[in-house]
């Protein structure tokens, strides 16, 4: 057994952001696919109202979150790297079945492994902007004179991709820890048991590129 240390990894805002974003995305997904026509749940009119409200709330949240990322320097967590990327992919494809340890140790200065960096960055720079832009075009299609068919197409396409991300995210978070709570709890309390890693912490300035 390696030595672990209780580490404060997720500050309050980050947890607030994560969970409110999660809740809004779940609501948007449930109402969005109803608006698309996949099933009936709230009734079309209610679904539209809820979806639009949740969308505006998410945009506000994201505006604050972008501000937070830049003022705290946390945006650097998402700078992609190829270092160890192959190793992480190999781990999920092969190593995990052989009970090998995860090839990348997480620290409070590098919360994300290289694969996560890439996927989350993709979410932030590709999926979210597509959904937000098409969503706004959809919302104001009459005023802008935009044909809704292609807008709705791209919006729904983005939603399918996001749904796939959501499934994989849940799978990894809830099943690859020692217990389902291993990765869940830190996102609630902010504290996580991390392997001690003295070399990775050049105090005081956090530098994600340190490893």
Partner 1 sequence: MKSRNAPIFILIGIGCLLLGIGLLVGAQPAAAAAPAIVPSQGVAQGSTADHSQFEVLKGPFGTGPEVTAACLTCHTEAAQQIMRTTHWTWEQKVGEQLLGKNHVINNFCIALASNEPRCTSCHIGYGYKDATFDFTKETNVDCLVCHDTTGTYKKFPTGAGHPTYEAREFPVGSGKMWNPPDLALVAQNVGKTSRATCGACHFSGGGGDAVKHGDLDTSLTNPSRELDVHMGVDGLNFTCATCHTAVDHYIAGGRYVMQAKDTRGIDVPGRDDQSRASCESCHGLAPHTTDAKLNDHVERVACETCHIPAFARGDQPTKMWWDWSAAGRMNAEGKPFKVKNDEGYDIYDSQKGEFIWERNVVPEYVWFNGEIEYTVVGTQIDPTKRVVINALHGSAADDRSRIWPVKAFRARQPYDPKTNLLIVPNLFPNSPEDKEAYWRSFDWIAASRTGMETVNQPFSGEVAFVDSIMYWPQVHMVAPKEKALECEACHSPNGRLAALTDFYMPGRLQHEGLNTFGTLLVGIVLLGVFGHGTLRLISRKNGKKS
Binding footprint of partner 1 on the chain (CB under 8 A): 34-38, 40, 43-45, 48, 92, 96-99, 141-142, 147-149, 152-153, 156-157, 159-161, 163-164, 167-168, 171, 175
User: What is the closest distance, in whole angstroms, from the C-beta atom of residue 77 to partner 1 in the complex?
Assistant: 25
Q: Which helix (H) or strand (E) holds 193?
A: strand 191-195
User: Of 82 and 97, which has the nearer Cβ to partner 1?
Assistant: 97
Q: Which of 20, 36, 18, 22 is nearest to 159 (CA)?
A: 36
Q: Which of 81, 72, 82 is nearest to 108 (CA)?
A: 72
Q: Write the DSSP symbol of residue 177.
A: S
Dig out the tokens for 83 from the structure.
């270092």
Q: Which of 134, 135, 121, 124 is nearest to 56 (CA)?
A: 135
What is the C-alpha separation between 196 and 204, in angstroms, rounded? 17
What is the C-alpha separation between 10 and 18, in angstroms, rounded? 10
CB atoms within 10 A of CB 188: 12
Q: Which residue has the tokens 């580490």?
A: 7
Burial class (CB in 10 A: 0-12, 13-18, 19+), 11: middle
Q: Which residue has the tokens 């449930």?
A: 30
User: What is the closest distance, in whole angstroms, from the C-beta atom of residue 190 to partner 1 in the complex?
Assistant: 28
Q: Are the C-beta atoms of 15 and 190 separated by less than 8 Å?
A: yes
User: Of 114 and 158, which has the nearer Cβ to partner 1?
Assistant: 158
């Amino acid at each position: 057994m390696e030595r672990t240390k209780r580490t404060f990894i997720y500050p309050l805002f980050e947890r607030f952001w994560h969970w409110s974003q999660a809740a809004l995305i779940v609501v948007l997904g449930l109402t969005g696919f109803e608006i698309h026509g996949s099933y009936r749940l709230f009734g079309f009119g209610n679904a539209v109202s809820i979806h639009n409200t949740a969308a505006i709330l998410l945009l506000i949240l994201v505006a604050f979150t972008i501000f937070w990322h830049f003022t705290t320097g946390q945006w650097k967590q998402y700078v992609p790297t190829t270092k160890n990327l192959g190793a992480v992919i190999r781990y999920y494809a092969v190593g995990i079945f052989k009970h090998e340890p995860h090839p990348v140790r997480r620290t409070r200065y590098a919360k994300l492994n290289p694969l996560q960096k890439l996927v989350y960055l993709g979410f932030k720079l590709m999926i979210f902007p597509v959904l937000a832009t098409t969503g706004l075009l959809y919302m104001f299609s009459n005023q802008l004179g935009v044909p809704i068919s292609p807008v709705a197409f791209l919006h729904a396409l983005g939603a399918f991709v996001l749904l796939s991300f959501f499934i994989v995210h849940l799978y990894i978070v809830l099943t690859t820890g020692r217990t389902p709570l291993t990765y869940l709890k830190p996102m609630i309390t902010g504290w996580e048991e991390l392997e001690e890693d003295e070399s990775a912490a050049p105090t005081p300035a956090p530098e994600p590129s340190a490893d």
